[in-house]
Structure 1
Amino acid sequence: MSEITVPVLIVGGGGCGLTTSILLSEHGIDHHLVERHTSTSHLPKAHYLNQRTMEVLRQVGVADSIYDVGTPPKNMGKTRWVTSLGGDGELDGRTLYTLESFGGGRLESAYAVDSPCPSTNYPQIRLEPLLREHTEKRAPDSIHFGRELVSFEQDENGIHAVVLNRDTQETYTVHAQYMVAADGGKTVGPELGVKMEGPTGILDMVSTHFTADLSEWWEDDVLITWLLNPEGAGSWNSGAMAAMGPTWGKHSEEFVLHFTFRPDDPARFDEEAIVPRLRELLKLPDLELKVHKVSHWILEGVLADKYQVGRIFLAGDAAHRHPPTTGLGLNTAIQDAHNLVWKLAAVIKGDAAPALLDTYEPERRLVGMRNVDWAMFTFLNHMVVDAGLGLIPGQPLEAQVQVFRDYFSDTPMGETRRARAAEVISTQRTEFQAHDLEIGFAYRDGALVPDGTEAPPRDPMGHTYHPTTRPGHRLPHAWLEHDGRQISTHDLTGNNAHFVLITAADGAAWSDAARLANDKFGIQIKVAQIGAGTDYTDPTGRWSELRQTDDTGAILVRPDNHVAWRSTGGADDPADELTRALGTVLAR
């Protein structure tokens, strides 16, 4: 049996595993990725990529390749609720409500001022091949599909794993210092005894990926359409559908439609019944369509009871599994990798003590918990939307029909029903306008030095974001000028590779401190002085508004663009202050 030795073994070649590979390559860390399937996913699955995820991918030069093919902002700025797409009945083809979404419409300015990256949309069935292409360009000999983890063990020196080449049926051994389990929770977590905690088995969902020409009924600025009608009598019964491209807007060729079967419906596993059901839901009885894939999944919101077992780290679906609402599954997974990889690189290179890796779980598990809970909340809130329209489970069809007749009627009661529905449906902004949830999360404990200040408020509805340089929070974005070009404060960390010490124009004392810290720890700390007469200027004054330090203060930013430490003013001994802070962060 042949043997190979690498610093990191990655198990899983989905969005999380591939992102982990890209990030490790940017740090110059050799690795070995194994994926049991011979290709990337055949399911559209996740598709919405939020601003924080796009910031991560921008940092390593991947974002532009997604923007080139993903949904333009003009084609994803609205979500709508309709009775059906087609049909010729009195209640067919009627629009119930439209909600601005994902930074579209009036949301655009707020989203744009807070991030260098707009959100976008690109289904996982296409995203994963794109990510794989990026991984193979960076590490062509490290990515291995059709390889299955057979067994593994760990000791004080590392991981020892047996891998099967499914093409040749030969096995080989991988010796690694660390392992990242991005396998969806299928192998590594159960073997380690990791428990997935939370509700499961709530609903039996069906997702159908199909091609059809819906240009006559689709709207150009809509990404997601919910079907609500008397016959379905509920959001998940009638179905929710999203455009899948590759052309965007009303001429999208592909779609995915999610809906439920009754648990006792004998047709729920009969794929021959899917096409008639789709035509029935859309009320397009003559629609020509081609079904690509029908997938069944059980609604669950579960979180691993631990993210780390010794030298093994769980990330992505291996650590948390969500309902699809708010699009938090893949986004959280990519952000897991972003948090973990710079720490792995620092430890492997000897820049940090192994204890730095113990900060991965406390930092990311609380975020995972919040996101799992949020996704479950927004999924179930669609039933609140149903109630706001007046739909009551178990009502006779005649009563449901009357609800819709009243809703569309030109009567005082119709006006009242529409007003109530507007108020209730607007609560679904927790799903489609979750700006603060997506970029406002922070780490309470971990690779950071708290400064004793109060955290800014979090919007309980997840929308209004309050930028801050408080340790543990994502560095606020502001546009700067450098060498005659516009850059973001997020660009100061480069490709996820080094710490940055941000000071004002008269930050010479902190610059000297950074040089001493460099010498002590043997790491690269980039100093960015921002202000008039420096290499970085603040042309709009936005950074001055956001920095929350005076002209003598400093902010230490981690490679993942989270604030590690700050001094809101000057220090008696800047070198001592910075050295102690960096020693705490690096566990040295």
Structure 2
Amino acid sequence: MSASVKSPRDPSTSFDDDVWPDSTDVLIMGGGPVGLSCAIMLAQRGVDVLLVERRDFVFRFPRAHLLNPRTMEAFHDMGVAGDIYGATPAHDRWRKAAWYTTATGPGRFDGMKIGDVPAWGGGPDAERYRSSSPRAFANMPQLRLDPLIHRHALAAAPGRIRSRQEVVAIEQDSESAVVSVRDVVTGELRTVRARYVIAADGGRDSADLLGIELEGPRDMREVVNYHVSMDLSAWSEPDALLGHFLHPAGGARRRGTIQALGPTHYNRDSEEWLVSVAAWMVEGDPDDEAALFASIRRMLGLADDHEITMHSMTRWSYHGLVAKQFRDRRVFLVGDAAHKHPPTGGLGLNSGIQDAQNLCWKLAAVLDGQAPDGLLDSYQAERRPVVAWYTAHSLENANRHPPIAEALGFCDDEAAGFRGLEVFVSETPEGEAMRARVAAEVAHNAHDYSQLGVEAGYHYWAGALVPDGTPVPGDPSDPVTFHATSRPGHHLPHVWLDSATGGDGGSVSAHDLIAAAGLTLLTSESAAPRWRAAVAAASGNMPITVVAIADDDAAWTAVRQIDDDGALLVRPDRKVAWRAARLPADPDAELTAALETILRGGDAPAGDPAEPYLRRIRAAANVLVR
């Protein structure tokens, strides 16, 4: 077994648009950010890909915008992160979410601030977010993110990114999948034989073609979103990227949310906005632009003639769905094709990119002959419990706004709500007590906006790893607190190494030591010769890069959780696959046994690790305020 990562195959040959390959390694259904990211990740590893998207690549709606540190690590590996950071607000004041009655207005309680929380690694959260990853949180509306990823995909897989092409049938055998693709414009039908297929189409076609059931509650709350231009400079909030609006007229229900879209300013001076208005706020014909604008003005306290320009709109509903299986023989579900949940917590796009990162290194390893097909079974074993957790957490986050309204005394009686606001602003013991209750309910939204334990702490219970019997550190139910650990299944701890500098002379993160392909074995300089010998003696085709870190590197010693002669075996997605706390009596045999377990996809977990989260999904759905 080599002690270094082998070079990837040459990039795919470019095809003209009117030329189609008869076969490909991986066919990707869907050209959203997850499908395009799969194309980039695979092509960069020398895998032959073909992506088909039934629509064009004109991106019309903002959709998701928050990119958490683990996602930015994946984008860094893809060479996309620099462009994203270049478009992210240069200052950090946007990292805040706020609650108001309205943005402005003539009434006594219009434009009144209810509270705010730091968000996305801002304010007091900054240091703990920095300690979790070398990559910072980013903000880039999908309206601008998708074209960026599309450009990178075109460069990585020239001639292999095709629009207006719809998958209409998938037939599988023991060697490949035969995919029937219809040209949406001409109706021409062609077939492509693929070793594997990735369904990243949001489930639009793959759900029917594969017959895989997504379990969980559907259509729990309807929301209308608008992409608009309007002047909100009269809003008193100077910084928050995100504003939520609660008002006595809405009772305990949130009226809606606004998000600054920039592209120049990401605060009250933003030129564009994503406005999410609860469907019940729209009075009259929901297809009448005047009625839509009236609901926006009413939510924000704007005058009836306040100018608003509509760019696009969409209606959607809250779902809490997780596919029962993420793999059907040679087809894999990723992103919204495998799971759908509310935007509260911003975990949808992030989990989809992390699906892609998990799956693509495994596909490349199998296609390169480095691992058996069984490695691919670990994709479901690892990702399904995580996204079930994300779905439950997102639904629970959606229920964190009504308690704020209830603490203010908002209820079905609008007059009682206004009396509550009178108490809230009063300099009385009752007012002080109410303000304390409201502040506590606002602070509970740290589970949404300071959820580092969820964003950076997600880990795998079973899969392509060797458990070492140690417990999960901390309280696994705590979504806020993150515990760095080298426990197998968890993310490699990030630390700036004292003993290593990059080509530019700057510090190097432990994350930056991990090879893009194959596995990486981290150990100390003194133990490296013996571990290199173990790597050389191990059988198989999986490349392993041995990286030696100085014995006296205090930063690394503080987080590695192994002795000087121990080792960590780390996957390309930076999950620890195996941990040797100290040098075994027979390191050759121990490493060989660990590799055998990892490459066959690991051992099956006891029971279904997703089931506790599926129960939480059902419980949260039962109490969701519509």
Calculate the TM-score normalised by the size of structure 1: 0.95
2:70 aligned residue = 52
Superposed displacement of residue 390, structure 1: 2.0
2:587 aligned residue = 574
Matched to 1:493, the amino acid is: I
Runs of 5+ consecutive residues of structure 1 not aligned to the other structure:
none
2:180 aligned residue = 162
* Residues 490-511 of structure 1, C-alpha deviations (whole Å, 9 max, x = no match): 11224x3231100012112112
Matched to 2:324, the amino acid is: D
Q: Does the alignment pair 1:427 with 2:459?
A: no
For 1:130 and 1:218, the matched residues in 2 are separated by 33
For 1:384 and 1:556, the matched residues in 2 are separated by 45
Runs of 5+ consecutive residues of structure 2 not aligned to the other structure:
1-18, 602-626
Counterpart of 1:98 (choices 116, 132, 136) is: 116
* Residues 518-542 of structure 1, C-alpha deviations (whole Å, 9 max, x = no match): xx3233211111115xxxx83xx22
Distance change >3 Å, CA 502–CA 79, structure 1 → 2: same
For 2:61 and 2:513, the matched residues in 1 are separated by 37
Superposed displacement of residue 202, structure 1: 1.4
Counterpart of 2:49 (choices 21, 28, 31) is: 31
Partners of 2:64 and 2:346 within 8 A in 1? yes
After TM superposition, list the pairs within 5 Å mapping 1:374-523 onto structure 2.
Answer: 374-392=393-411, 394-395=412-413, 397-458=414-475, 460-480=477-497, 481-482=500-501, 484-494=505-515, 496-507=516-527, 508-517=529-538, 520-523=539-542
Partners of 1:470 and 1:563 within 8 A in 2? yes
Superposed displacement of residue 388, structure 1: 2.3
After TM superposition, list the pairs within 5 Å mapping 1:199-278 onto structure 2.
Answer: 199-217=217-235, 219-236=237-254, 238-250=255-267, 251-262=269-280, 266-278=284-296
Superposed displacement of residue 233, structure 1: 2.6
Partners of 1:73 and 1:120 within 8 A in 2? no
Give the 3-state SS of the residue equivalent to 2:460 in structure 1.
coil
For 2:364 and 2:434, the matched residues in 1 are separated by 57
Q: Does the alignment pair 1:335 with 2:335?
A: no
1:547 aligned residue = 560
Partners of 2:282 and 2:292 within 8 A in 1? no
Distance change >3 Å, CA 444–CA 460, structure 1 → 2: closer
Give the 3-state SS of the residue equivalent to 1:528 in structure 2.
strand
For 1:220 and 1:115, the matched residues in 2 are separated by 29
2:28 aligned residue = 10
Larger displacement relative to structure 2 (17-26 or 263-272): 263-272
Matched to 2:495, the amino acid is: A
Partners of 2:47 and 2:364 within 8 A in 1? yes
For 1:35 and 1:504, the matched residues in 2 are separated by 47
1:359 aligned residue = 378
Superposed displacement of residue 73, structure 1: 5.1
Larger displacement relative to structure 2 (153-162 or 5-14): 153-162
Larger displacement relative to structure 2 (258-267 or 417-426): 258-267
For 1:40 and 1:472, the matched residues in 2 are separated by 39
Matched to 1:420, the amino acid is: R
Matched to 1:370, the amino acid is: W
After TM superposition, list the pairs within 5 Å mapping 1:310-349 onto structure 2.
Answer: 310-349=329-368
1:181 aligned residue = 199
Q: Which runs of 4+ in 1 moved over 6 A?
A: none
Q: Does the alignment pair 1:371 with 2:384?
A: no
For 2:371 and 2:62, the matched residues in 1 are separated by 39
Superposed displacement of residue 272, structure 1: 3.0
Structure with higher RCO (Cα < 8 A, 6+ apart): 2
Q: Over aligned residues, Cα RMSD in angstroms?
A: 1.8
Q: Does the alignment pair 1:75 with 2:96?
A: no
Distance change >3 Å, CA 179–CA 73, structure 1 → 2: farther
Distance change >3 Å, CA 79–CA 36, structure 1 → 2: same
Distance change >3 Å, CA 264–CA 245, structure 1 → 2: closer
Counterpart of 1:586 (choices 599, 608, 626) is: 599
Give the 3-state SS of the residue equivalent to 1:583 in structure 2.
helix
* Residues 369-393 of structure 1, C-alpha deviations (whole Å, 9 max, x = no match): 000011011012212222222222x
Matched to 1:498, the amino acid is: G
Larger displacement relative to structure 2 (451-460 or 200-209): 451-460
